Copies of this chain bind each other. A is one copy, B any other.
Amino acid sequence: MFSQQIQLRGHIIDSLLLPKVLDEILTNGGQFTIREVKIGQQRTDPSHATIDVFAAIPEAVDNLIGRLRQHGAEVVKEEDVQLAEAPADGVFPEDFYVTTNQQTFVHLGGRWIEVMPATMDSGICVDVKTRTATTVKFSGVCKGMKFAVGHRGIRVMPVERALDRHSVFEFMASSVSSEKPKSAIIREVAAEFRLAKKSGGKILVVAGPAVVHTGAGEHFEKLIQWGYVDLLFAGNALATHDIENALFGTSLGVYLERGALADEGHENHMRAINVIRAVGGIRPAVEQGVLTSGIMFQCVRRNVDFVLAGSIRDDGPLPDVITDVVEAQKLMRSKVGDITIALMMGTMLHSIAVGNLLRAAVKTICVDINPSVVTKLADRGTFQAIGLVTDIEPFLRELTEFLAEEKPA
């Protein structure tokens, strides 16, 4: 039997850490003895547990410790993080540590160093001289860079659930089904938006073409005009259908004013793309007076930064679309560092893609009429996302109504 001693600290009871840890040990074939549990008298007092973890072979202990670290367990005598060199550009060393989107530290020379930024599915590049640790995606790996390997000397700090619930965003990984009332939640989202504006937060909106198809474009324009959008991530489809609507009054050939029943053919989106290609892009189209309304127009006029990322189903695309997906990822990643709220609407592809780039601390809300979008987003690691299963047009209508009640001066 081999063993190692771990410690749990913090609100280990109410954050469910202790039971999760014990569960993890048993599930993976290990055994444990609880050496000590000290639980605070008041809920705000921190608690503490010391546990011996046993397994038949040393590798199994290591494996267990690796898992338990994900839950915040510390090995009592901490060793330094182990490093290995990338064998080639774009290739991590074998056994590289794969990050989550949670706050992570590496132990180096007796100190814990925070890994910045917290990004999932990356390696941890450690610069021993400057004592810095950075998350690096495959595309950023250069031969010879040093990466954390194994699980020793690495510590993850799970996002702690707040003791008092004054915000919808504390209900992480919840999904509000189509069967439940949504006004109260939308009101809270509005409150968070206002708070973000006041306190220097930054709001990212990730939007699919359904924002335009459902007729919600005008509400989204208001969000931009009122200063609630700091950054927009979308694809060719959102921009194309928005511009199609601005130029021809249709979206996918449907006249938005006359409704879904007046289908007018699918040519207009091709013509819209052609118009923008002819003038060289969205900004030139606005500057030359070709494009005078819509979401993209408002972004240009209000200097809202946007990234349009390509996909293989794109027609055109618009000149502004970044057709190389790795380049698009890099650009998006470079812009999300100070985002505090992410609102994702009507796009599974972009929501999951952007979820992969955000740290867990970003307050994330995902609105989709398809309940599986929210489920998949959480399944793929963006566990902090709150889901709202509803139609996008009424969601944005109600959100802007709440914001209008107390518009910033």
> Chain A interface (Cβ within 8 Å of chain B)?
13-16, 18-19, 22-23, 26-27, 32-34, 37, 39-43, 67, 87-88, 90-92, 94, 96, 98, 121, 137-138, 163-165, 168, 171, 174, 176-185, 187-188, 210, 213-215, 251, 254, 256-262, 265-267, 270-271, 273-274, 277-278, 309-317, 323-329, 332, 348-350, 352-353, 356, 369-372, 375-376, 381, 389-391, 393-394, 397-398
Contacts and interface: CB of A to CB of B under 8 A. Distances in A.
Contacts of A182: 214-215, 259-260, 391, 393
Contacts of A372: 177, 370-371
Given A19-B19, A313-B353, A315-B138, A181 B391 contact: no
A137 B314 CA distance: 11
B43 A349 contact: no
B356 A313 contact: yes
Given A14-B19, A278-B91, A312 B350 contact: yes
24 contacts: A13-B19, A14-B23, A26-B163, A87-B278, A98-B266, A121-B315, A171-B261, A176-B260, A178-B370, A181-B215, A181-B254, A181-B260, A181-B393, A182-B259, A188-B259, A266-B381, A312-B350, A314-B325, A315-B356, A325-B325, A369-B390, A390-B394, A393-B394, A394-B398
A199 to B, nearest CB: 23
Contacts of A176: 260-261
